[in-house]
Amino acid sequence: MSDELIITPIGGLGEIGKNMMALELGEDIIIVDCGVMFPEGDMLGIDLVLPDFAFLMAKADRIRGIVLTHGHEDHIGALPYFLRNVNVPIYGSDLTLGLVKVRLKEHKMLSVADLHQVEMGDRVQLGAFEVEFFSVNHSIPEGMGLVIRTPLGPVVHSGDFKFDYTPVQGRSADFAKLAELGGEGVFVLLADSTNADSPGFTPSERVVSEAFSEVFSEAAGRVIVVTFASLVSRVQQVVDAAVRHGRKVAVTGFSMEKNTDMAQELGYLKIPEGTLIKIDDIGKLADDKVTILATGSQGEPSAALARMAAGRHAHVSVRAGDTVVLSAHPIPGNEEMVGRIINRLFQRGANVITDQMLPVHVSGHAGQEEEKLLLAMTRPRYFVPIHGELRHLHMHARTAMEMGVPRDNVFVVENGYQLHFTAERGWVGERMPGGYVFVDGAGVGDIGPSVMRNRAALAEAGAVAVAVLMDRETGLVIGEPDLVSRGFIYLPEFGSVIDGARDVLMKDLEGARPLGRGAIANRVRAVLARYFHEQTGRNPVILPLVLTSPA
Amino acid sequence: MSDELIITPIGGLGEIGKNMMALELGEDIIIVDCGVMFPEGDMLGIDLVLPDFAFLMAKADRIRGIVLTHGHEDHIGALPYFLRNVNVPIYGSDLTLGLVKVRLKEHKMLSVADLHQVEMGDRVQLGAFEVEFFSVNHSIPEGMGLVIRTPLGPVVHSGDFKFDYTPVQGRSADFAKLAELGGEGVFVLLADSTNADSPGFTPSERVVSEAFSEVFSEAAGRVIVVTFASLVSRVQQVVDAAVRHGRKVAVTGFSMEKNTDMAQELGYLKIPEGTLIKIDDIGKLADDKVTILATGSQGEPSAALARMAAGRHAHVSVRAGDTVVLSAHPIPGNEEMVGRIINRLFQRGANVITDQMLPVHVSGHAGQEEEKLLLAMTRPRYFVPIHGELRHLHMHARTAMEMGVPRDNVFVVENGYQLHFTAERGWVGERMPGGYVFVDGAGVGDIGPSVMRNRAALAEAGAVAVAVLMDRETGLVIGEPDLVSRGFIYLPEFGSVIDGARDVLMKDLEGARPLGRGAIANRVRAVLARYFHEQTGRNPVILPLVLTSPA
């Protein structure tokens, strides 16, 4: 029993094993990453999505620690929610823990967390697992892969990775370690599949520097660069380009300010004295001396870019002569919002540069050729593609099989399925209950699929609320019903539909036998649903209310 | 006055001049295209979007005709709605009118329409305008450009175009005509900007044939090709590939069935005798003898592909061994839905081929180099980029200026703005009132921004309806209020929030002076809004209802 390894990717329908994974061996459990997912288009009103780790809580006392691969939100953002349930030691690099601290502080949980800083090459014993950290490249410094040593052999977890021979910060991925592991014999390889549909190699982060140089040389006015706040090395490249071209840098956007402060303190971001200026001081400089670094590359309506584009930003309105650089690529689902903001920027006379025109952004994930290189170096017995949606996993699996990993040794599973491995074999086991937990306003987990379905129905055709009065003695409806609608039809013109509904309802209830409150509500709903559909072809959500006459 | 030409692109915030344009000269007006827009992500519950042509209705008697460039929905789909208001002659090619007839028939308006078929090279006099039709390439046969002759000189309208030297159907664009026009001197060029952000040339439709050959040679089971029903030449290529590889073809999806029938009748689609089989007969053949042609390439939940992927299709469930070819590219905003369906197809064991892996789809619009070629041939005095969002228009404008069109002679405008031209100059005039008209269920134009805003609020945090009873004599609230919610919180766990709301409300209303129904409703809304926000951090839509006690 203690020689059975169980690997479980945790989460809902999105990317598999991206936000969180659990590895179990006998009495010991370790967790890799603890991040959030950003809500998809049909998760109406949802702020954040957490992986549902409830099934782990029954064996919480066996969790030996959480190991973090890097500091992006989708790998660390759920920590404040997890630690409320179980407080276990957390291991990560200097920068990763710096970002964790920012998050924990916001949740007022910094003092309770048990944080352990690790360096590349460090080994940590967590129960039966020995975890060694090695360097990989990603769009944030200190991306780490993991060698998780077990009695069955080493499990290699790639983290979010690409191979960058000329990284802007830090070192290249640790090829020596990977090749050494290949010689040793890797038992299971868990590898990032995000770009499994992209042929070739992902370009080096260095090409972005060259693109920035071109943009900065040609810009006559202000340069506004928008990117993810966590892309610390990208921020460094913006600063470097600004300095080279004699410009100052102002930062705007909550997370951009927080993260650049932190990265500067920890020494990951090197900004020459006097380069950084306050955002409200940009007006004191000539336009061609100003660089603005901002959030909002995904079109988020409340982020700095959207506010600057709409004239709702306190200090910056985009205007003719500005050059706006979108140093990021829209995440699927955000294309429409991003496109609209670009429209507005052009409308204001700005010159807009996207990654379609110049390489002002490159991906942080391996392309197919890098995936092959990792497979060739590690030569795993079992291969489990992770970090990507199901289609990416299948494409990555195909690549592995083409490279000689036997079909039966490749496992494509969805989140929640447990993969079992013994010295003899590997197989897909049961699915753990759970999926997503939604965070909406102050509530965590109080929104389920039924609430979401109701929101979708409300979005589709609006709501009509109806109140009727029931006689306490006779159980009959008395007086006139009251109706009010929202999001259904435009009332000034279609008051007649509501008047008609009142008539139909009164006529129906007039002759009715005594019904009781529940039966009256059901009848009201049925009569109105039919009437509204006939009249308008729409299906508004009907909310019936039944009051009882006073005794 | 009669020598002033006014050009107005009509519609809302989307693509400019795509669905409809008006040209006015003295007493005469002609309209180019009359199409629908597909709803954007935040147009909740909307089925179709029409350009708002209300401002034209005051001068409806001056409209001499509607000229159609090609048969796609976004160029012909609003005709049934327009003809209800004004019945004017309609001019288009054989295939274009064939597609118009399918639409008009659905709306039971075929008998009233005044349709005139035109051939390439035909000239039609419409009041002061003489319209000549010339061939361009697009993703449907019989794409037409227009030469609109006016006393000021010829106006050239590109239609939706690309230059395809080796088209699969029909001829190449009419280069001779374009060059001749350039010699003559083009007054205004109105040109398609859809791909103004794509460097280079759009590949020929012919490359798709080669990709299909590769897919069909390698497929061991059924081949399911998904594309737009209106891509008649793409459908022909699927049929040709099937015939070459000894397969039969079955068609599924309402619009695919309708359009292939019509295209076959008119001779645009050539299917050898015995090739077409019924979809319910596919089970009688070996898998490697079957090709299925289906709708749903944009991830539409009710289209054939989504149903086949979810096992909800009456005749086809995708299964291991199937090869599914997505011969289309997701329109911005649809990426997420399309991605999810691809996940499901892989989950069912299918092999999925997208245009990222093989050129199984090419665009129907000109790339930057083709835009330059059109500008070089026509050498227009004024240039107006159309068909694209604002950002595409700006990029196309930049291209034109780089090619020597003076900055002051290039007009980038949004829909509704009137462009004026005289022999001496061109300028941007007033903006016509209007924008979009939404079609929702049976209603046309009864949904406005306020209904849409309400739907967005309902989608964000749901609705709570509250009914209270007012004493007819005293004006005081009596008895207990009733509350019901949808899409707000998950009730079994959070009934306490609703109970609390009832208590807070009763306490507030208990001591109140006589109020009247309106004042009670406002007070209920205010008290509950504050309470719910405090308790949950959310802002549900509150629908208060006030009943009066019976006399």
Assess contact for B75 and B33: CB atoms under 8 A.
yes
The two structure tokens encoding residue B261: 């029938």
Closest Cα to residue A147, out of A169, A180, A171, A115? A180
Reported ipTM: the value is 0.79
Per-residue pLDDT at A452 exceeds 90: no
Q: Please count the CA atoms within 13 angstroms of the CA of B257 that sit on its side-chain side.
A: 10
CB contact under 8 A, A487 and B544: no
Between helix B368-378 and helix B390-402 the angle, nearest 10°, is 50
Q: Which residues of A touch B486 (CB under 8 A)?
A: 454, 457-458, 463, 541, 543
Q: Which residues of B touch A44 (CB under 8 A)?
A: 459-460, 487
What digits encode the pLDDT tens for the residues A269-278?
A: 999 999 999 9
Q: Least CB-CB distance to A336: which of B40, B458, B546?
A: B40
What digits encode the pLDDT tens for the residues A81-137?
A: 999 999 999 999 999 999 999 889 989 999 999 999 999 999 999 999 999 999 999
Confidence class of residue A491 from pLDDT cuts 50, 70 and 90?
low
Phi-psi region of A349 (alpha: psi -120 to 50; beta: other; left: phi over 0): left
Q: Which residues pair with B123 in a beta bridge?
A: B132
Per-residue pLDDT at A492 exceeds 70: no
Rounded CA-CA distance B287/B221 in Å is 5
Rounded CA-CA distance B390/B13 in Å is 9
Q: Which residues of A touch B494 (CB under 8 A)?
A: 446
Give the model's pLDDT for residue A278.
96
| Domains, chain B, ordered by start | 5-200+363-444 (3.60.15.10), 206-353 (3.40.50.10710), 462-548 (3.10.20.580)
What digits encode the pLDDT tens for the residues A311-343?
A: 999 999 999 999 999 999 988 778 888 999 999
Task: Tell me the C-alpha to C-alpha distance, in Å, between residue A190 and each of A145, A242, A385, B406.
Answer: 10, 39, 6, 58
Q: Least CB-CB distance to A482: which of B489, B546, B550?
A: B546
Rounded CA-CA distance B416/A355 in Å is 31
Rounded CA-CA distance B120/B171 in Å is 11
Q: Which residues of B touch A45 (CB under 8 A)?
A: 459-462, 487, 538
Tally A–B CB contacts below 8 A: 247
Q: Which residues of B touch A550 (CB under 8 A)?
A: 469, 478-479, 549
What digits encode the pLDDT tens for the residues B264-292?
A: 998 989 999 999 999 999 999 999 999 99
Q: Least CB-CB distance to A454: which of B487, B493, B535?
A: B487
Closest Cα to residue B159, out of B116, B200, B190? B190
Confidence class of residue A2 from pLDDT cuts 50, 70 and 90?
low
Assess contact for B328 and B227: CB atoms under 8 A.
yes
Task: Tell me the C-alpha to C-alpha distance, in Å, between residue A239 and each of A213, A265, A277, A528, B15.
Answer: 11, 16, 12, 62, 37
Rounded CA-CA distance A225/A213 in Å is 13
What digits encode the pLDDT tens for the residues B40-62?
A: 767 777 778 899 998 999 899 99
CB contact under 8 A, B441 and A543: no
Give the model's pLDDT for residue B168.
84
pLDDT, average across residues A127-156: 96
Question: Which residue shows structure tokens 């993969």?
Answer: A419
Minimal-distance CA residue of chain B relative to A539: B441
Q: Which residues contact B286 (CB under 8 A, 6 or more apart)?
A: none
Rounded CA-CA distance B107/B81 in Å is 9
Give the model's pLDDT for residue A1.
46
| A160 CB-contact burial (10 Å; exposed 0-12 / middle 13-18 / buried 19+) | buried
Q: Which residues of B touch A340 (CB under 8 A)?
A: 389
Give the model's pLDDT for residue B44.
74
Residue type at position B521: A
Task: Tell me the C-alpha to C-alpha distance, in Å, between residue B205 and each of B95, B158, B192, B389.
Answer: 19, 19, 18, 24
Q: Does B335 touch chain A (CB under 8 A)?
A: yes
Percent helix / strand / coil, chain A, rounded to 5: 35, 25, 40
3-state secondary structure of B361: coil
What digits encode the pLDDT tens for the residues B375-426?
A: 999 999 999 999 999 999 999 999 999 999 999 999 999 999 999 999 999 9
Assess contact for B534 and B528: CB atoms under 8 A.
no
Q: Which residues contact B408 (CB under 8 A, 6 or more apart)?
A: none
Give the model's pLDDT for residue B25.
97
Residue type at position B531: Y
Rounded CA-CA distance A505/A512 in Å is 11
Q: Is B75 considered catalytic here?
A: no
CB contact under 8 A, A343 and B390: yes
Minimal-distance CA residue of chain A relative to B451: A487
Rounded CA-CA distance A47/A461 in Å is 23
The least confident of A187-196, A513-522, B492-501 is: B492-501
Closest Cα to residue B86, out of B30, B26, B149, B13? B30
Give the model's pLDDT for residue A535.
87
Q: Which residues of A touch B493 (CB under 8 A)?
A: 446
Give the model's pLDDT for residue A29.
98
State how far Cα A338 lies from the chain centre. Answer: 17
Residue type at position B425: R
Task: Tell me the C-alpha to C-alpha distance, in Å, between residue B101 and each of B24, B104, B111, B207.
Answer: 27, 5, 10, 32
Q: Does A536 touch chain B (CB under 8 A)?
A: yes
CB contact under 8 A, B441 and A547: no
Assess contact for B467 and A482: CB atoms under 8 A.
yes
Per-residue pLDDT at B494 exceeds 70: no
Give the model's pLDDT for residue B38.
79
Give the model's pLDDT for residue B354.
94
What distance, in Å, lies between the first and last C-alpha atoms of chain B? 69
Query: Of A33, A52, A160, A192, which one is the catalytic site residue?
Result: A192
The two structure tokens encoding residue B527: 């008290």
DSSP secondary structure code for residue B315 in this structure: S
Minimal-distance CA residue of chain B relative to A493: B446
What digits encode the pLDDT tens for the residues A58-67?
A: 899 999 999 9
Q: Least CB-CB distance to B440: which of A45, A390, A538?
A: A538
How does A329-366 read in b/e, with b if 16+ C-beta sit within 10 Å?
bbebbbbbbbbbbbbbbbbbebbbbbbeebbbbbbbbb
Confidence class of residue B177 from pLDDT cuts 50, 70 and 90?
very high
Ranges of beta strands (E only) in A195-310 are: 223-226, 248-252, 276-277, 290-294
Ranges of beta strands (E only) in A394-538 are: 417-421, 426-431, 436-440, 443-444, 463-470, 477-486
Chain A from 446 to 505: CB within 8 A of any B CB: 446-448, 450-452, 454-463, 465-469, 478-479, 481-484, 486-490, 493-494
What digits encode the pLDDT tens for the residues B193-251?
A: 999 999 999 999 999 999 999 999 999 999 999 998 888 889 999 999 999 999 999 99
Give the model's pLDDT for residue B492.
62
pLDDT, average across residues A343-358: 93
pLDDT higher at B467 or A46? B467
Instruction: Give phi and psi for A385, each to the nearest 5.
Output: -70, 135
Closest Cα to residue B78, out of B42, B32, B118? B32
Assess contact for B193 and B384: CB atoms under 8 A.
no
State how far Cα A255 lies from the chain centre. Answer: 15
Per-residue pLDDT at B1 exceeds 50: no
pLDDT, average across residues B437-445: 77
Assess contact for A257 and A291: CB atoms under 8 A.
no
State how far Cα B359 lies from the chain centre. Answer: 24
Give the model's pLDDT for residue B37.
87
The continuous run of DSSP H or E covering B180 comes out as helix B175-184
Minimal-distance CA residue of chain B relative to A542: B486
pLDDT, average across residues A169-185: 89
Q: Is A94 considered catalytic here?
A: no
Q: Does B389 touch chain A (CB under 8 A)?
A: yes
Taking all residues of chain B, what is their mean pLDDT, rounded to a whole number? 92
Rounded CA-CA distance A38/B184 in Å is 57
The two structure tokens encoding residue A128: 């039966």
Chain A from 242 to 301: CB within 8 A of any B CB: none
Minimal-distance CA residue of chain A relative to B477: A550
Task: Tell me the C-alpha to C-alpha distance, in Å, between residue B328 and each of A334, B64, B167, B296.
Answer: 20, 37, 17, 10
Q: Could you tell me whether strands B477-486 and B463-470 are parallel, antiparallel, or unpaired per DSSP bridges?
A: antiparallel
Share of chain B above pLDDT 90, in %: 71
Taking all residues of chain A, what is their mean pLDDT, rounded to a whole number? 92
CB contact under 8 A, A545 and B354: no
